[in-house]
Structure 1
Amino acid sequence: MSASRVDEVPKPMRRDAQERRAKLISAAQAEFAAQGVDASLEKIARDAGVAIGTLYRHFPTRLDLLMAAFRPRVQEFLEGATKALAKEDPWEGFVHYLENLFAMQVGDRGFNDFLSRRFTDSAETERIHDEMCQQIEDVLTRAQEAGAARADITQADIVNLIWSNGRIIDATSATAPMAWRRYLYLMLDAYRAERAHPIPEPPMTDGQLYDAMVHLSQVK
């Protein structure tokens, strides 16, 4: 019987391949930021100075490229949420979370799309969105339990706010790039517990929210 084979260690990527991959990620970050997650992969390849086949060798699917491009932004976003939860004052933490989230939407259509949608073909993006939704739940519940945020706000209300802010940024970025902060603080006044009044429409269910985010990823 032949000797048992030791598990092979993957060969390190050649320097020229590493450079092509880095150029593709840089080009993707710029193009996704400008055009959103549906940006042309052909243009990304051209901007990186490679053939489209080379792009697909490094990133077999659009989602693979999206995750490589957005990974630093996702990490920054999740770290911001952790800082919000560490704030001593729960309302201050809630405000910090939303301001950090909305600031990260500015100037990056791709990351805005990523926050707003569900990509069901990727276990990694689903995990990230689940973590994001849990952070929303945590920071919101903390403010509600402190009596600072109104009790009838739900996770779905915050995601709807993300969608609304994305449209505000699209409309105002060229003429009033900080307008989004005004509308955030107007909404924060509405979210204060002492401002609560009955609302005639119930919040979206978790299932409705999930389906809406999936639907956004399918709309071209």
Structure 2
Amino acid sequence: MNHATASAPPRRLRADAARNQQRIVAAARELFADHGLEITLDDVAERAGVGVGTVYRRFANKKELIAEVFEQNVTEFATAAEDAARHPDPWLGLVQFFEYACTHLATNRGFSEVMLELEDDMDRFTKVRDRMKPTIAAVIDRAAEAGALAPGVEASDFFALIHMVDALAEFSKPVNPTTWQRYMAIALNGVRSDSVPRRELSVPPLTDDEVELAKSHTSCAGRRR
């Protein structure tokens, strides 16, 4: 009886620790998405509603927390690619994954920054790349084999296109946070074969005034850095 009483608190503490870790990682994901990697562990503690000491008990430094958040993002990307590879229509499967990737990057400021951060850790970066690359390639190969892609388009082109859309999203976000959707559609239209219907360009381009305003925001950000 005494033994049972003594063993109960550790089980409760472990459960509390697990819940705290979930809250910390969820808070970090939100903050990284909104503000990039400039946030502090104090910011994470405040968003999670825990003491900063609790954060440091779970993660010795911000880099450990970044790695944990990134692992979750990669798992979700891998799942999205697997779902797309199972789509009954190869072209729509490719569109599904391309839209997922563009949306995730365009609305998650920290993800691209994390990718750059991880390039310093080549072992982890290589594992991440090797985990996703075959499934993504399969999604694109299926569309090519179905005759839905223009001749010569390769899997590596999509990585470039996704980053191009992401760069446009970062540029236009201060003045129009949805413009990137237009260029995502243009990119998809550009890689389709002639026999596949084009996507509607439902979002207008930036106006001249919006371009100039976006440039001013970019200049200000550069001076702050």
- Give TM-score scaled by structure 2 length: 0.66
SS of residue in 2 equivalent to 1:88: coil
User: Is the CA contact (8 Å cut-off) linking 1:94 and 1:143 kept in structure 2?
Assistant: yes
What displacement does 1:116 show? 6.8
Aligned length: 185
Q: Extract structure 1 runs of 4+ deviating beyond 4 A.
A: 114-118, 122-125
What displacement does 1:104 show? 1.9
Structure with the larger helix share: 2
Name the counterpart of 2:109. Answer: 109
For residues 133 and 37 of structure 1, what CA distance do their matches in structure 2 show?
A: 25
**1:165-204 equivalences in 2 (<5 Å):** 165-194=165-194
User: Is the CA contact (8 Å cut-off) linking 1:77 and 1:104 kept in structure 2?
Assistant: no
Q: Deviations over 1:16-72 (max 9, x none)?
A: 433442332232122111122453334324444423x54333123534312433455
Name the counterpart of 1:27. Answer: 27
User: Is the CA contact (8 Å cut-off) linking 1:37 and 1:113 kept in structure 2?
Assistant: yes
What displacement does 1:186 show? 0.8
SS of residue in 2 equivalent to 1:178: coil
For residues 20 and 14 of structure 2, what CA distance do their matches in structure 1 show?
A: 10
Gap runs ≥5 in structure 2: 1-9, 196-224
- Equivalent position amino acid for 1:162 in 2: I
What displacement does 1:127 show? 2.5
**1:4-15 equivalences in 2 (<5 Å):** 13-15=13-15
SS of residue in 2 equivalent to 1:184: helix
What displacement does 1:99 show? 1.0
User: Is the CA contact (8 Å cut-off) linking 1:118 and 1:126 kept in structure 2?
Assistant: no
Q: Which is further off, 15-24 or 179-188?
A: 15-24
What displacement does 1:105 show? 2.2
Q: Deviations over 1:104-163 (max 9, x none)?
A: 224221234446774453755543332222222111122222222134233332222222
For residues 38 and 138 of structure 1, what CA distance do their matches in structure 2 show?
A: 36
For residues 122 and 39 of structure 1, what CA distance do their matches in structure 2 show?
A: 24
CA RMSD of aligned residues (A): 3.1
* Cα distance change, pair 154–14 in 1 and its aligned pair in 2 (3 A): same
Q: Deviations over 1:79-115 (max 9, x none)?
A: 2212211122222221111012112224221234446
For residues 81 and 18 of structure 2, what CA distance do their matches in structure 1 show?
A: 32
For residues 93 and 117 of structure 1, what CA distance do their matches in structure 2 show?
A: 30
SS of residue in 2 equivalent to 1:76: helix
For residues 157 and 190 of structure 1, what CA distance do their matches in structure 2 show?
A: 11
Gap runs ≥5 in structure 1: 1-10, 196-219
Q: Percent identity?
A: 28
For residues 117 and 193 of structure 1, what CA distance do their matches in structure 2 show?
A: 37
SS of residue in 2 equivalent to 1:28: helix
- Give TM-score scaled by structure 1 length: 0.67
Q: Which is further off, 18-27 or 131-140?
A: 18-27
Q: Which is further off, 111-120 or 35-44?
A: 111-120
SS of residue in 1 equivalent to 2:56: helix
- Equivalent position amino acid for 2:14 in 1: R
